[in-house]
Amino acid sequence: ARSGLVAYFNLRRLKGTRLIIKLLQLLLLVQDFYITVGTGLVFLVASIFFALTHDSTPAELAAIVFGFLASFVFLSDFFLMVYEKRKEPRPRKPEA
């Protein structure tokens, strides 16, 4: 026996929202790709800009090194995720 709210919001009952739920699931799956590559690019652009305009203090040099290392790690993580995703077997269509 299900509670009233669970029975009311059953997916079979809400047929119009099934497409929306599937779309949200797809967006959730690719969200990690976009966040990782976006963060890596922001770190890279900020590091380049900061490297061109710094005053050569030790703290600024450490920040520049950290920025380039962080952007390298984020972008390498993105490429590793893409490589692993492409390595996964794709479902084949049955032969007719």
Number of structural domains in the chain:
1
Distance CA 9, CA 5 (A): 6
Kindly state whether residue 63 falls inside one of the protein's structural domains. Answer: yes
Domain contains 96:
no
Judge whether 36 lies within some domain.
yes
What local confidence, expressed as pLDDT, does residue 15 receive?
Answer: 63
SS3 10: coil
Range list of β-strands (E), 1-96: none
**Global model pTM greater than 0.85:** no
Q: Is 56 domain-assigned?
A: yes
46-65, pLDDT tens digit by residue? 999 999 998 989 999 999 99
64-91 burial, b if ≥16 CB within 10 A, otherwise e? beebbebbeebbeebeeeeeeeeeeeee
10 vs 78, more confident: 78
Three-state SS at 96: coil
Q: Is the pLDDT of residue 25 over 90?
A: no
Predicted local distance difference test score (pLDDT) of residue 27 = 83
Domain that holds residue 81: 4-87
